[in-house]
Amino acid sequence: MGYLLLALSAVSYAVGIVAQTVAARRAEVRDRIDPGLLARLATDPVYVIGFSAQVVGFLLAFLARATLPLYLVQASAMSAVGIAAVIGGVLLKWRIRSVEIGSLGITAVGLLLLVGAAEPSAATQLPAAVGFGMIGVLVAVAAAAVPAAKVPGPRGAVVMGALAGVAFAILAIASRPLAGGPLAELPLRPLFWLMVVAALIGQALLAAALQRGSSTATMASMDSVSVLLASVAGLAVLGDRIVAGREAWVAGGLALVVCGVFVMAAVQARGTAATTHEVPKEAARG
């Protein structure tokens, strides 16, 4: 059941990526953090569909975290980038160059290694010191987003995507211990509210990133940072396990994910060989 939830979650995330990209691209781009961006996007039906799909994807992934380690759940979420590229190419005529496909292929191999190394397990309780540390990291992310918002174009998309990845990694880390407990008691637990704040910050940064460049580069940057940080935290403090003898799979998988993202980020930052996914005029008119 956990694996089925992950598959459905990836598809739902992909639909959300495509819809949110279309909506974010036709909103006004500003060279600063725009507190009203999410409020304006919330009036766009396409963005609402995308956000709803993201919420469904998160809920499915949240339930899967009750028994599956973070590096597997986050890897599954990351596969949504490729699914979104296919949906965008078929339905919206997004153009994807061979360099982007190659980068996604490198990342996919790394993710397959991570999936093969996964062993189901229940999470241990998160130490209080780690919880306070994550609060500090969220504050630092919010502060770093101010100068990052001034970086234009594809490079800005990669930077903002990476910051969003940190926020979503905190969301994943906080949610893993919560998934195994009584769902009705979630609002009574401090980790739940940390998860909510991380989700809001991550969503705002993601919307800003999608305005600036390729959705493929943005999501690859965001998800790679998220999967790396969450994987390390899961193994270090949450009791996540690796199949005996496959520790090298995890190291190799993470290395390939980082490699794929660096290639993608370099291509997008230089503005060479990478293609910006254009919103069709019909969609831009709503």
Q: Identify whether the C-beta of residue 209 lies closer than 8 Å to the C-beta of residue 151.
A: no
Which of 172, 165, 201 has its CA nearest to residue 72?
172
Euclidean distance between CA atoms 25 and 3, whole angstroms: 33
161: pLDDT strictly greater than 50: yes
194: pLDDT strictly greater than 70: yes
Which of 28, 151, 92, 149 has its CA nearest to residue 275?
92
Model pLDDT, residue 281: 35
pLDDT class for 277, splitting at 50, 70, 90? very low
According to the per-residue pLDDT averaged within each range, which of 4-8, 40-44, 105-109 is highest?
Answer: 4-8
Give the Cα-Cα-Cα angle 133, 31, 54 (nearest 5 degrees).
55
Euclidean distance between CA atoms 219 and 229, whole angstroms: 15
116: pLDDT strictly greater than 60: yes
Model pLDDT, residue 67: 85
Region of poorest pLDDT, from 53-62, 116-125, 143-152, 262-271: 262-271
The torsion angles phi and psi of 241, rounded to 5 degrees, stand at: -120, 160
82: pLDDT strictly greater than 90: no
At 186, which helix (H) or strand (E)? none
25: pLDDT strictly greater than 90: no
Which of 161, 18, 147, 153 has its CA nearest to residue 81?
18
Model pLDDT, residue 180: 77
Model pLDDT, residue 75: 81
Model pLDDT, residue 273: 40
Better-scored residue on pLDDT, 63 or 260: 63
54: pLDDT strictly greater than 90: no
Rounded average pLDDT over 44-72: 88
pLDDT class for 31, splitting at 50, 70, 90? low
Model pLDDT, residue 266: 65
User: Could you read off the pLDDT of 199-229 as tens digits, one per residue?
Assistant: 999 988 988 887 777 666 777 788 788 888 9
Euclidean distance between CA atoms 160 and 212, whole angstroms: 9
Which single residue is written with the structure tokens 């190799």? Answer: 252
235: pLDDT strictly greater than 80: yes
pLDDT class for 85, splitting at 50, 70, 90? confident
Give me the DSSP letters along 180-218: TS-GGGGGGSHHHHHHHHHHHHHHHHHHHHHHHS-HHHH
Q: Identify whether the C-beta of residue 213 lies closer than 8 Å to the C-beta of residue 268.
A: yes
Kindly state the percentage of the chain with pLDDT values over 70.
Answer: 83
Model pLDDT, residue 274: 40
Model pLDDT, residue 28: 55
Number of domains in the chain: 1
Region of poorest pLDDT, from 69-83, 95-109, 207-221, 259-273: 259-273
Q: Identify whether the C-beta of residue 206 lies closer than 8 Å to the C-beta of residue 156.
A: no
User: Could you read off the pLDDT of 93-103 as tens digits, one per residue?
Assistant: 776 677 777 87
Model pLDDT, residue 7: 84
Model pLDDT, residue 269: 52
Structural domain that includes position 259: 2-284
Token pair for 104: 């996604």
Euclidean distance between CA atoms 204 and 35, whole angstroms: 8
Q: Identify whether the C-beta of residue 184 lies closer than 8 Å to the C-beta of residue 57.
A: no
- The region that residue 265 occupies, defined by phi over 0 for left and psi between -120 and 50 for alpha, beta otherwise, is alpha
Q: Identify whether the C-beta of residue 225 lies closer than 8 Å to the C-beta of residue 169.
A: yes
